[in-house]
Amino acid sequence: MDSSVSSFSSSSTSLGFRSTDFSPPVSDRHPCFQDGGSSPMDHNGGNGRDTPGDSVSEILTRGDLHYVLEDVPHLTEYLPGLPAHPNPLQDNHAYASVKQYFVNVDDAVAQNVVVHNNSPRGTHFRRAGPRQKVFFESDEVHACIVTCGGLCPGLNTVIREIVCGLYHMYGVHKVVGIEGGYKGFYARNTISLTPKSVNNIHKRGGTILGTSRGGHNTSKIVDSIQHRGINQVYILGGDGTQKGAAAIFEEIRRRGLKVAVAGIPKTIDNDIPVIDKSFGFDTAVEEAQRAISAAHVESESHENGIGLVKLMGRNSGFIAMYATVASRDVDCCLIPESPFYLEGEGGLFEYIEHCIKEQGHMVIVIAEGAGQELMSKSIHKLHQQDASGNKLHQDVGLWISQQIKDYFKEKRKIVINLKYIDPTYMIRAVPSIASDNIFCTLLAHSAIHGAMAGYTGFTVGPVNGRHAYIPFHRIIERQNKVVITDRMWARLLSSTNQPSFLHPEHVSDEQNDKNLSIQLVSSSRKENHVEENNVEKLK
């Protein structure tokens, strides 16, 4: 068996806000495995669940060897009489021949696949994929798709694949697009989406539906869903959007509606936790290479040339980090997770001077959220937010360009040639690359299979390479950040040779241990050699 997918096979103790007893074996009891298809049982056997309507955020099941399943809700929890039907996929000419096409009902994806002898089995998520039984008949489905937040390469691909997947796999013909993000539910008309109308949209950047920030009014949105007779809601968006999706799901459940809510995580910042990666991220990193290459060419062609590239990354520096490691033309990468300082020993200016003296040029990549604290010390600006409540950053690229120019002109009397490239919107407005298109297709299909099978209140995404249904609360409880004590940041430090920017006076006793590993790498880089045992500490 694949180490990242396991099947639950023991009796269990129920814990958490709601609980599930999986004994006897789930596969005997789950409606998806029942022939009649109209059992009133709930999706885990009608046992141990709280009464419908309770505010629930966690569904935990525990098993042998500390197995934990963090499950997602199912429509039958609050609609216990809901009939199940055979999955029409079994008669689909393309899929009928696939051996074991339907996933086992108790298949789960392990969050942690690195194990030791006797280590606990740990947290698992329900494996995504088609089930033998569905809880919607094809002609009953009225699906809608909405895209929210910032743009991201691949949005149109996901839209296309939801429409085509519903149509071709499940015979669903009623799919509408909500225009302009969440507010479109109550302020705009819907547009009909058919395989024909979406056929070529994956070749375009952006979203054919439009997007927006702000405007999330839960009751107006659910009123609109109810009045339009929509029963499957596919929501594409980042952390803010998934919070909104969670609120919509809770309200739908409170009203007792037969409506499945499926989230598809979208953000080029890659700041969504649990999942391996968000779609469009690879495209953004690829596109960023063009800007970095241009910066490199410019910097190499001028005396004391400095190419400075600003990349997106509000709170997380993944794009900057991956673009840097991929390119190898970058001498310094600055991200929000790794504070830096400008002047003095070990500071940015000293390193820039070292680079231009040694190489004659250098390339700096800076994430938009980096250095914000430094900047606010020198520029006094009111705290501003966008319509969704996200903090609006000041332009760190412009600011740091000016700081570098001023320092070398006034304090070092060195003429430098700095070219600032800001491709931030270019890297997210492009169409997705082929690998992201495949990723988007799988995400769309996983979401469709989950909704058709009656699951709701979930976000779909890859966990250790396997698609899983993840409860909303796990997605929205925190943001994914670059861990500067992990190996990837060490790879970056070793590739750029940049300093760690750990100013001695900023290293508190409490942080000493954490920072030690970074300092070790920083000093060992001078010998062009990173000891394996130090790298181990970076994990």
Ligand X SMILES: O=P(O)(O)OC[C@H]1O[C@](O)(COP(=O)(O)O)[C@@H](O)[C@@H]1O
Residues tagged active-site: 269
Q: Does 314 bind ligand ADP (CB under 6 A)?
A: no
73 vs 238 by CB, closer to Mg ion:
238
386 vs 422 by CB, closer to ligand X:
386
Determine the Cα–Cα distance for residues 440 and 158; give it in Å rounded to an integer. Answer: 5
Q: In the bound complex, which residue of the shown chain has the CB atom lying closest to ligand X?
A: 150
142 vs 216 by CB, closer to ligand ADP:
216
Check the annotation: does 313 bind a ligand: yes
- CA-nearest of 120, 280, 291, 100 to 207 is 280
Least CB distance to ligand X at residue 211 (A):
8
Which residues fall within 8 angstroms of residue 377, CB to CB, at 6 or more apart? none
Among 224, 388, 446, 498, binds ligand ADP (CB under 6 A): 388
Least CB distance to Mg ion at residue 185 (A):
19
DSSP 411: I
**What residues pair up with 463 in beta bridges, in sequence order?**
466
DSSP 335: -
Dihedral in degrees, nearest 10, Cα atoms 158, 161, 167, 173: 30
Using DSSP bridges, classify how beta strands 190-192 and 175-178 pair: parallel, antiparallel or unpaired: antiparallel
Check the annotation: does 271 bind a ligand: no
Determine the Cα–Cα distance for residues 170 and 537; give it in Å rounded to an integer. Answer: 50
Q: Does 361 bind ligand ADP (CB under 6 A)?
A: no
Greatest alpha-carbon pair distance for the chain in Å reads 84
- The burial of 505, by beta-carbon neighbours within 10 Å (0-12 exposed, 13-18 middle, 19 or more buried), is given as exposed
* Residues at the contact surface with ligand X, assessed by CB under 6 A: 149-150, 238, 240, 267-269, 312-314, 368, 386, 428
Show the 3-state SS of 23-82: CCCHHHHCHHHCCCCCCCCCCCCCCCCCCCCCCCCCEEEEEHHHEEEECCCEHHHCCCCC
Q: Does 216 bind ligand ADP (CB under 6 A)?
A: yes
Check the annotation: does 269 bind a ligand: yes
Least CB distance to Mg ion at residue 384 (A):
16
Least CB distance to ligand ADP at residue 389 (A):
6
Residue 312 Rama label (left phi>0; alpha psi -120 to 50; beta): beta
Check the annotation: does 268 bind a ligand: yes
215 vs 462 by CB, closer to ligand ADP:
215
Determine the Cα–Cα distance for residues 452 and 447; give it in Å rounded to an integer. Answer: 9
Among 130, 154, 215, 369, binds ligand ADP (CB under 6 A): 215
245 vs 259 by CB, closer to Mg ion:
245
Q: Taking CB under 6 A as the criterion, which residues in 126-155 touch ligand ADP? A: 148-150
* Residues at the contact surface with Mg ion, assessed by CB under 5 A: 238-240
DSSP 409: I
First to last CA, the chain: 28
Structure-token pair, residue 379: 């520029």
Partner interacting with residue 280 (select from ligand ADP, Mg ion, ligand X, none; CB below 5-8 Å by kind): none
155 vs 470 by CB, closer to ligand X:
155
202 vs 213 by CB, closer to ligand ADP:
213
Least CB distance to ligand X at residue 212 (A):
9
Determine the Cα–Cα distance for residues 316 and 50; give it in Å rounded to an integer. Answer: 38
Q: Does 181 bind ligand ADP (CB under 6 A)?
A: yes
Among 239, 298, 331, 436, binds ligand ADP (CB under 6 A): 239
Tokens 């995580």 -> residue: 265
Give the SS3 label for residue 490: helix
Least CB distance to Mg ion at residue 267 (A):
6
Check the annotation: does 213 bind a ligand: yes
Q: Does 390 bind ligand ADP (CB under 6 A)?
A: yes
Determine the Cα–Cα distance for residues 34 and 26; give it in Å rounded to an integer. Answer: 11
Using the rule CB under 6 A, give the single segment among 166-174, 235-243, 281-289, 398-406 that binds ligand ADP: 235-243
Check the annotation: does 267 bind a ligand: yes
Residues that bind ligand ADP (CB under 6 A): 148-150, 181-182, 212-216, 237-241, 243-244, 247, 267, 388, 390
Mark the binding-site residues for substrate, compressed into ranges. Answer: 267-269, 312-314, 368, 425-428
Mark the binding-site residues for ATP, compressed into ranges. Answer: 150, 213-214, 238-241
Mark the binding-site residues for Mg(2+), compressed into ranges. Answer: 239
Mark the binding-site residues, compressed into ranges. Answer: 150, 213-214, 238-241, 267-269, 312-314, 368, 425-428
